Amino acid sequence: MPWRLLITPEGSAAYNMAVDEALFNACRRDLSPPTVRLYSWHPPAVSIGYSQDGALEVDPDQCRKYGIHIVRRQTGGRSILHDEELTYSIVTPENHPFAGSTGCEMYRQVSQILINALQGLAVYGVMAEERTSQENMNGACFSQAARYEITVLGRKLVGSAQRRAERHILQHGSVLLGPAHKRLPMLIPVKEHHRRASMIQTLNTRTISLSEILGRVVHFDELAERVSETFFSYAALSFDSGYLSDDECRDVDTLIRTKYSRPEWTFRRKMDHVE
């Protein structure tokens, strides 16, 4: 069965996370093929990692002040401000050759595809070799580079996270188009002022965006075209451009209504870390 490529219009936080879960649900029920999705966010949003305590990560009043939405992801990792970025998601069975024998192998394959795509913009990324330590799990997702995440000039450009369930994988990732992610510290609770100061420093010194590298604005469509073309050529997979099925659309509507728009999900208490 060919893979499906989806390039979807910019969406709200609840919509984006509901679509990714609906794709995951359909794939693990053998109702849809493995899928690569590329998308962006409007309005900007903070996504909280699956196992984080939302009350410690984000101040709802500050987010309302700046018109920023809040959502909890299905994948692990730390909080991210999604603005001026290309986000990808991939859903596939664990036993598909593209997934490799371990989760790390899929991280490596996806990162190599993104590195190849970025070379078309004269951006030369490399994969980080070290695993992220656990000591800074309350920081921002882009404050450290985990193994196989992409850095340029020693600074993080791409971050990724996974969820595995019922022998299937959902992998999320963000490619920074511009520096707007550095506004995240102003959205965390005031009582976390020491962490806010540390986060400002790390985001300013350890991250980099394509606009900062190239000295010009890089638009979503420009990078999405290069990434989709590189998936076709590098991964040696057959792709069909597609749409959400009727079943997936119904699942999206249900997930928005019952989960991703509800504070009970977004601000649930800290749980055991799951990726």
Q: Is residue 167 part of a domain?
A: yes
Per-residue DSSP letter, 267: T
Tell me which of 27, 63, 104, 141 is the catalytic residue. 141
- What is the percent of the chain where pLDDT is above 70? 92
pLDDT confidence of residue 140:
52
pLDDT confidence of residue 133:
40
Q: Extract the tokens encoding 124.
A: 């030369």
CATH number at residue 156: 3.30.930.10
Q: Is residue 27 part of a domain?
A: yes
Q: Is residue 275 part of a domain?
A: no
Task: Evaluate the CA torsion angle 154, 106, 229, 13 in order and state its sign.
Answer: negative
**Residue 104 annotated to the active site:** no
CB 207 within 8 A of CB 156: yes
Phi, psi of 170 (to 5 degrees): -115, 120
pLDDT confidence of residue 141:
54
Work out the pLDDT band at 146, boundaries 50, 70, 90: confident
pLDDT confidence of residue 104:
85
- What is the percent of the chain where pLDDT is above 90? 75
Query: Does residue 272 surpass a pLDDT of 80?
Result: no
Q: Hey, what's the torsion of the CAs at 255, 260, 263, 268, to 10 degrees?
A: 100
Q: Is residue 273 part of a domain?
A: no
Domain ranges, residue 129: 3-266
Work out the pLDDT band at 134, boundaries 50, 70, 90: very low
pLDDT confidence of residue 142:
52
| Range 123-140 average pLDDT | 65
The mean predicted confidence, pLDDT, of the chain is: 90
Give the C-alpha separation, 179 to 210, whole Å.
Answer: 9
Long-range residue pairs from 248-254, CB within 8 A, at least 24 positions apart, any chain: 248/19, 248/22, 248/23, 248/26, 248/32, 249/22, 251/18, 251/21, 251/22, 251/25, 251/26, 252/15, 252/18, 252/19, 252/22, 253/18
Among the residue ranges 5-19, 24-38, 173-187, 228-242, the one predicted with the least confidence is 228-242
| Range 125-134 average pLDDT | 70
Q: Is residue 274 part of a domain?
A: no
CB 203 within 8 A of CB 142: yes
pLDDT confidence of residue 273:
40
Tell me the one-letter amino acid at 111.
Answer: S
Which one, of 268, 261, 274, lies nearest residue 77 by Cα?
274
Kindly report, residue by residue over 193-252, the tens digit of the pLDDT: 788 888 999 999 999 999 999 999 999 999 999 999 998 888 777 788 889 999 999 999
Q: Is residue 271 part of a domain?
A: no
| Range 167-191 average pLDDT | 95
- The secondary structure of 108-161 as a DSSP string is HHHHHHHHHHHHTTT---EE--SPPPSTTTTSBGGGSPPTT-EEETTEEEEEEE
Q: Is residue 216 part of a domain?
A: yes
Kindly report, residue by residue over 52-111, the tens digit of the pLDDT: 999 889 999 999 999 999 999 999 988 999 999 999 999 999 999 899 877 689 999 999
Q: Is residue 106 part of a domain?
A: yes
pLDDT confidence of residue 91:
97
Query: Does residue 143 surpass a pLDDT of 70?
Result: no
Number of domains in the chain: 1
pLDDT confidence of residue 130:
60
Where is pLDDT greater, at 176 or 132?
176
**pTM here?**
0.91
